[in-house]
Amino acid sequence: MDFLSVLIAAFAGFGLGAVWYMVLAEPWMEAVGMARGADGKPEGGQSPVMFAITFVMLLLVAGMMRHTFALSGVDTLGKGFVAGLGIGLFFISPWIVINNLYGNRPFKLSLIDGGYATTACALMGLVLTLF
């Protein structure tokens, strides 16, 4: 059952990312400084490999969250949500801010990407504690 919950949590994080970045596509592309074609879409498009690697990375995050939850006794929806929120807000988001600071990227990018990381980890925490 643990692997199934990890798989579903990764799918939940992936789905949230699709919605998050569709809604915030314009400000994100602006903050990244992405080159766009005449149609306004990113030059070069997006490859299926990019999405596959993203899903594998989310599997790694969900798997480690599941392991950490098991060791820490995180076993209710409330605890899962709070632990996931904390992982996103206090582990992943600060790292994103550091990377963007040294890349001379706008703080708006950190807010968009850190917001996704925080929200996705909270959602994944909920999913992991459903089983």
pLDDT tens digit sequence for 5-59: 999 999 999 999 999 999 999 999 999 999 988 888 888 878 899 999 999 999 9
Q: Round the average pLDDT of the chain to a whole number and report it.
A: 96
Nearest to 69 by CA among 53, 55, 50, 82: 82
* Cβ-based neighbours of 64, under 8 Å, separated by 6 or more: none
| Separation of alpha carbons 81 and 87, rounded Å | 10
| Separation of alpha carbons 104 and 35, rounded Å | 17
Q: What pLDDT does 1 receive? A: 64
What ranges do the domains of the chain cover? 1-27+68-131
Residue spans of alpha helices (H) in 2-106: 2-23, 25-32, 48-72, 77-87, 93-102
pTM of the model: 0.94
Residue written as tokens 């708006």? 108
- How many Cα atoms occupy the beta-carbon half-sphere of 61 within 13 Å? 27
